[in-house]
Structure 1
Amino acid sequence: MRSDGRRRTGFRRMTRTAAAVATLVVSSACAIVPTGGIPESVSEVNKGDPLMQPFTRLIPTPPRDDWDPEAVVRGFQAAMASNDDQGRAVARQYLTKEAARVWRSEDGVSVVASADFESAPFSEDAKETRVTLKSAKRAIIDDDGRYRTVKGESSWTATLVKVGKVWRIASVPNGLIITEADVQRAYRPVNLYFLDQVGRGLVVDQVRLPVAPDGDFAKTVVQRLLQGPSGSLKDAAITALPDHVRVNSVTTMGDTVVVDLSEQVRGGDPLYAQLQWTLHDLAKDWTIELRANGEPFSGAGLRIAPNDFADFDRLLHPGTDIAGYYLHDGALHMLGSDGNGTPVAGPVWYGGAGRKQLLYTEPALSMDQEPRVAAKSSQGGIWVTSLVEGGRWQQWIAGSDLTAPSWDRYSALWAVDRVGEATSHVLRHDGGRTRRIQAPGLLHTTVKAFQVARDGVRVAAVVEDSTGVHVRLGAIVGQGDDIRVDHLQTLTDAKPGEILDIAWKDSTTLLVLLKTKAGKRLDAYSVGDGGRTQLKADERLHTIAALGDRMLAGTEKHGGILRFDAGKSEWITVAKQGAGFPVFPLG
């Protein structure tokens, strides 16, 4: 009997499993790699082909007869992490015949921080034992490539039995379990581009795709694009690509990327924009040609020149011509590129004795040809007016306890009415009437803030319920009378009172401003994988607005407006006492 009790070791301490895998950095499908010995890395040069980028292959090998239970499980985990064996045939060699028959490797991918194993003590004549992988959970990769951050501890256990004189795994959870290092090696983050419900704008769907052993990653990307949006955007975004079309190959010919499909497709500008933007990271500045079974499309063929559709959706990369705004001394001001504010012709914001009472606050600006501004009124409700001299306020949304207004790119106005304790109704005004929108994931919460992203599809909300305060992401699903807010999931949690404000930086990045015991904190969250980047904060920050790389902030009690100077990496004052409520259009 072993006397050391439970034994815990790290993934890198590969004793008997040094021969379990071999690695090779390659940039093409043609490679011969060893199946045993010390892992070997070989770098090859990318000779100008944008589609053939270096990646690391992990070649699995079958178990050895002299491996102990922990070594067998280590080898099995390494085999699960290999994309060279996509059917997991080698991994099944670590299992008993019955376990190999019933194990469903395709049932999702769990990502953990590292592979740390604990072996249960066993005697030399034992016939059964267990090995457990214990590690911090990091994410789940769904079948559609969606990377969902999760928290907690993972406890994954394999039961082993003696088969003759060798150990094999008799029972193991379905699906794959891999480490963060495996994800970095075997998966790539990809931005897929789909369309909004009216086909007018592009919606980014961030996924993680496995690198195929043949290195034809561009084909993998286009195939995934043909499958449609991931679960977080199901029925919220659409595609112009027919789902029955197959990808034969994606290759290069001269300065052209040739996408060979199983048949001709006709989708117009939206389809071509989807393809060009999706392949942008792999083939920037290359012409894209579509073919059908090796032959050019009928007529003059179909070639998409570089940047043909760079401006298909200007909100993907908004320019500096879109100004920021704020309220100051009873008027809406536009912030110029020189950092100075200029009053904007428009409605009266103040009233009362001496016109010192601020009647309208928390403005939101549309991006119509003739922009409109919405604001909360001190008399109740949300009111709207045009930015013209003498513009008159009209109430669009009624309610006694409303969140700040938020425009979508289709000129509809959104807000949430907190109608009772832990009860919130999402409201939308389409220019003609106000309708309550079904949002089951928000109904039994207190919504503190609600903002529609500039893609017109995603939404973010700060909610409080019996479990605490959370930032949740969702999507606007359907059209017309069938619109609802769905696919809600938690992005981050906080303590009551910590979250001061949220703002969309772009359609895939949400800013969260917090007040913690350690001071003010400004976090940028990727909506694709939940990754957090801490930005430069300032103790004066109280509200936040953003558009691309530009950020504005308001201070407490309308003490001024700050602008982030990226060159100096500091917040500078652009308007002093009496200024507040910074905002960008569709912010």
Structure 2
Amino acid sequence: MGADSRVGRAGRGGGTRAVVLAACGGLVVTGCATMPDSGDVQAVKGANLGDSQVRVYAVAPRENADPDEIVDGFLEAMTSDDPGFTTARKYLTAQAAKTWKPAQSITVLTTAPDREQADRNADPDNQGRAYPLSGRKIATVDARHAYQPNSPAKYVQSIHVVQQPSADGKGKEWRIDSLPSGLVLGEADFLRNYRSVNKYYFASGEDWVVADPVYIRQRQDPVTRMDPVTQTVKALLEGPTNWLKSAVDSQFPSGTELKAGVTSLATDDQSTLKVPLNAKAELVGGEACRRMAAQLLFTLGDLTSVRVEQVELQKPSGDSLCRLGKGQAAEFAAVRNTVPQENPYFLDEHGKLKMLAVQGKETDEPAEVPGPFGSGTTPLTSVAVDRGETRAAGVGSSGRDLFVSSITTEQDPQPAVLTSKAARPADRLSAPSWDGRGDLWVADRNPAAARLWMVPDGSGDPVEVRTPWLTEGTRVEALRVSADGVRIALLVKQGERTTLQIGRVERQQTGAETEVSVVGLQPAAPRMESVTSVSWAGPSRLVVVGKEAGGVQQIRYLQTDGSTSASSVLPGLNGVSSVTAPNGDAAPVVANSGNDGIVRLAPGTNWQPVVKAGTSPVYPG
């Protein structure tokens, strides 16, 4: 609920107002020179509705407040940092205050919920008043902090108020006795109060970690009273989100929690964070403890408010279980530093594979790569380079055949590892993608038999991926697999619409056979009417080309859970057909623009042309 909407509602209600304080020099305004020291408290407009430095303080209901004020005051109080939501509960009856669980869920609307006038007909006995609430619902956040987006849909709920004896017993006062579950927030208030962080768990049976994005409070959590660092650790210990849990493992023994009473964690002067755990973790062995500490180090690495160079896990007594530094934890990363830097590649106008010199000058010529892909012996229409930058996979000029070749040494052209039988080139193979395990993925878009394929190590017998959602009339236009191999971004075409979906990769060994499935598809860009291109841009971030209904094409960053922010939109670029991004932040985003050819976007700059004639820009993966 933004500050603008507060002003309007307060004016209509007449008496109950939330106090909105903006940041002054990075701190909450409690003594700035412009702060008045007398007069009534006034609601103010924040310059940025999503600004995390804007603080909202709840105001208790005034004596003899009318029912409109009670409802408005409660809606305002839900947006505050009120400890325990104590002030918000003062708007509720005693029973409702006991049963309301604000930590149970969050309903996110496009804007603050619109409170209509009371519908007296909804309460024929005239024992109270029902106030309809409406809006456009765009997401929910569950008790495990997982963000679940949806296409904007109508939201209709109600708040019911009744009269009850006042505290002094001399009269009656209006209070809420029935209300929606959890919190109901406009998107601006949600982004002001909450921030996305990645928890990390191990890919099932593997030795590398997988990001699991969740939302925590920007400041102290009103319910647990925990600071952001402690909230993040607590969320990690609670285990993976429901969507991811079947594909990952946590090294923390079941039931592991923070030591009772811990609400604040801070690093010492050596940037070491000491984390006291309960008795469930007392008997863990050395290697298991190292992996537990690695999960914590990766998770805390997303918090800009704290610098953690080392983690020490402790028993309830304070004795040390183990210590691990960031350098030691790096061995568990999904993307290892096997090459000095990530290099982007592209196909020139003759279908030859070349490496871009995007870190150099605009005048630097692209480098030819060894092998049949670089020489043009095997011309390509699309390509993918493995994460070690030693091999590439490409779809031949007819779109029918998938080839694999070295890009570090010369070799003769190899036979196709997979062939599509579709009649039209546009219905044949998609661009391929490598996961961090070295396996190669591609979609066959054949209308008669649309399939998803995985080629083990890029050279084994192709495995048909189990896809129960790939029904008649549906096909995969494009795909990109995450470095950890647990998640896959899919452009799924159904009818005339192409949507971005995130699927979960599950592997099951039956004897010598490995069954691979992609299941649990969830929308990653539900507000986009169509999506043209997608690329991974980090452990849980995507860069996407698409457009919203009635809008123009845009390039923006999205989290894999579908959440976004206003600052995630990249500078405009016309006619973009494909985009690719590095795993880190140092290298530029590269795109293919119909007007400008291959272009790059370095951090803090605008788009710059690199190659006039070229297609299919890709980073490793």
1:433 to 457, 461, 468: 461
Report deviation, 1:396: 2.3
Counterpart of 1:212? 221
**Deviates most, 308-317 or 380-389:** 308-317
Decide whether the 8 Å contact of 1:325 with 1:333 is kept in 2. yes
Report deviation, 1:472: 1.4
User: Deviation per CA, 1:219-272, whole angstroms, max 9, x where unpaired?
Assistant: 221111112221332222332222322211334444332111123344254333
Counterpart of 1:245? 256
Q: How is 1:380-459 mapped onto 2 (pairs within 5 angstroms)?
A: 380-387=400-407, 388-400=409-421, 401-420=428-447, 424-431=450-457, 432-444=460-472, 445-459=474-488
Give, in whole Å, the separation in 2 of the partners of 1:433 and 1:147: 38
Give, in whole Å, the separation in 2 of the partners of 1:408 and 1:290: 32
Give the secondary-structure state (helix, strand or coil) at the position aligned to 2:574.
Answer: coil
Structure (1 or 2) with the greater strand fraction? 1
Aligned pair 1:463/2:470, yes or no?
no
Aligned pair 1:522/2:522, yes or no?
no
1:290 to 286, 291, 313: 313
**Deviates most, 88-97 or 271-280:** 88-97
Give, in whole Å, the separation in 2 of the partners of 1:194 and 1:174: 30
Judged with a 3 Å threshold, the aligned counterparts in structure 2 of structure 1 residues 494 and 469 are, in CA distance, closer, same or farther, namely: farther
2:570 to 535, 542, 547: 535
Decide whether the 8 Å contact of 1:232 with 1:474 is kept in 2. no
User: Deviation per CA, 1:450-506, whole angstroms, max 9, x where unpaired?
Assistant: 21122322211112224833111222134443432122122235898x643222222
Give the secondary-structure state (helix, strand or coil) at the position aligned to 2:298.
Answer: helix
Give, in whole Å, the separation in 2 of the partners of 1:169 and 1:468: 44
Judged with a 3 Å threshold, the aligned counterparts in structure 2 of structure 1 residues 169 and 539 are, in CA distance, closer, same or farther, namely: closer
Judged with a 3 Å threshold, the aligned counterparts in structure 2 of structure 1 residues 442 and 13 are, in CA distance, closer, same or farther, namely: farther
Counterpart of 1:174? 181
Give the secondary-structure state (helix, strand or coil) at the position aligned to 2:74.
Answer: helix
Q: How is 1:576-587 mapped onto 2 (pairs within 5 angstroms)?
A: 576-577=612-613, 579-586=614-621
Structure (1 or 2) with the greater helix fraction? 2
Give, in whole Å, the separation in 1 of the partners of 2:552 and 2:17: 50
In structure 2, give the amino acid aligned to 1:160: V
In structure 1, give the amino acid aligned to 2:519: D
Give the secondary-structure state (helix, strand or coil) at the position aligned to 1:531.
Answer: coil
Decide whether the 8 Å contact of 1:24 with 1:58 is kept in 2. no
Decide whether the 8 Å contact of 1:233 with 1:487 is kept in 2. no
Judged with a 3 Å threshold, the aligned counterparts in structure 2 of structure 1 residues 520 and 317 are, in CA distance, closer, same or farther, namely: farther
Aligned pair 1:236/2:250, yes or no?
no
Give, in whole Å, the separation in 2 of the partners of 1:81 and 1:566: 34
Counterpart of 2:66? 68
Give the secondary-structure state (helix, strand or coil) at the position aligned to 2:533.
Answer: strand
Judged with a 3 Å threshold, the aligned counterparts in structure 2 of structure 1 residues 24 and 242 are, in CA distance, closer, same or farther, namely: farther
Give, in whole Å, the separation in 2 of the partners of 1:159 and 1:315: 53
Decide whether the 8 Å contact of 1:193 with 1:278 is kept in 2. yes
Counterpart of 2:504? 475
Counterpart of 1:378? 398
Give, in whole Å, the separation in 2 of the partners of 1:467 and 1:541: 19
**Deviates most, 263-272 or 99-108:** 99-108
Decide whether the 8 Å contact of 2:445 with 2:451 is kept in 1. yes
Judged with a 3 Å threshold, the aligned counterparts in structure 2 of structure 1 residues 238 and 83 are, in CA distance, closer, same or farther, namely: farther
Report deviation, 1:292: 0.6
Give, in whole Å, the separation in 1 of the partners of 2:375 and 2:338: 32
Report deviation, 1:19: 6.8
Number of residue pairs aligned between Structure 1 and Structure 2: 544
Report the TM-score, using the length of structure 1 for normalisation.
0.79
Q: How is 1:44-443 mapped onto 2 (pairs within 5 angstroms)?
A: 58=57, 61=60, 63=61, 66-81=64-79, 84=82, 86=84, 94-95=91-92, 107-112=104-109, 113-120=111-118, 126-150=126-150, 151-163=152-164, 165-210=172-217, 211-213=220-222, 214-248=225-259, 249=262, 250-255=265-270, 256-262=272-278, 263-264=281-282, 265=284, 266=286, 267=288, 269-280=290-301, 281=303, 282-297=305-320, 302-305=322-325, 307-310=327-330, 312-313=332-333, 315=335, 321-328=341-348, 329=350, 331-336=352-357, 337-338=359-360, 339-347=364-372, 359-368=379-388, 370-376=390-396, 378=398, 380-387=400-407, 388-400=409-421, 401-420=428-447, 424-431=450-457, 432-443=460-471
Decide whether the 8 Å contact of 2:16 with 2:62 is kept in 1. no
Give the secondary-structure state (helix, strand or coil) at the position aligned to 2:249.
Answer: coil
Report deviation, 1:350: 7.9
In structure 1, give the amino acid aligned to 2:161: L
Output the aligned Cα RMSD. Answer: 4.0
Report deviation, 1:279: 1.9
Judged with a 3 Å threshold, the aligned counterparts in structure 2 of structure 1 residues 94 and 494 are, in CA distance, closer, same or farther, namely: closer
Give, in whole Å, the separation in 2 of the partners of 1:273 and 1:39: 48
Give, in whole Å, the separation in 1 of the partners of 2:327 and 2:352: 40
Give the secondary-structure state (helix, strand or coil) at the position aligned to 1:110.
Answer: strand
Judged with a 3 Å threshold, the aligned counterparts in structure 2 of structure 1 residues 121 and 313 are, in CA distance, closer, same or farther, namely: closer
Give, in whole Å, the separation in 2 of the partners of 1:530 and 1:82: 21
Give the secondary-structure state (helix, strand or coil) at the position aligned to 2:450.
Answer: strand
Give, in whole Å, the separation in 1 of the partners of 2:210 and 2:494: 30
Identical aligned residues as a percent: 26
Report deviation, 1:410: 0.8
Judged with a 3 Å threshold, the aligned counterparts in structure 2 of structure 1 residues 317 and 572 are, in CA distance, closer, same or farther, namely: farther
Report deviation, 1:413: 1.3
Give the secondary-structure state (helix, strand or coil) at the position aligned to 1:395.
Answer: coil
In structure 1, give the amino acid aligned to 2:253: P
Decide whether the 8 Å contact of 1:21 with 1:78 is kept in 2. no
Decide whether the 8 Å contact of 1:383 with 1:395 is kept in 2. yes
Decide whether the 8 Å contact of 1:415 with 1:427 is kept in 2. yes
Give the secondary-structure state (helix, strand or coil) at the position aligned to 1:119.
Answer: coil
Give, in whole Å, the separation in 2 of the partners of 1:316 and 1:507: 13
Give the secondary-structure state (helix, strand or coil) at the position aligned to 1:476.
Answer: strand
Counterpart of 2:31? none
Give the secondary-structure state (helix, strand or coil) at the position aligned to 1:302.
Answer: strand
2:538 to 491, 506, 513: 506
In structure 2, give the amino acid aligned to 1:402: L
Counterpart of 2:3? none
Report deviation, 1:308: 4.0
Counterpart of 1:48? none
Report deviation, 1:305: 3.6
Give, in whole Å, the separation in 2 of the partners of 1:102 and 1:495: 38
Give, in whole Å, the separation in 1 of the partners of 2:62 and 2:337: 54
In structure 2, the gaps of 5 or more residues are 1-5, 29-39, 45-51, 166-171, 422-427
Decide whether the 8 Å contact of 2:10 with 2:16 is kept in 1. no
User: Deviation per CA, 1:68-125, whole angstroms, max 9, x where unpaired?
Assistant: 2222222333454556554x676555445665676665542112321432113659x9
Judged with a 3 Å threshold, the aligned counterparts in structure 2 of structure 1 residues 27 and 259 are, in CA distance, closer, same or farther, namely: farther
In structure 1, give the amino acid aligned to 2:227: D
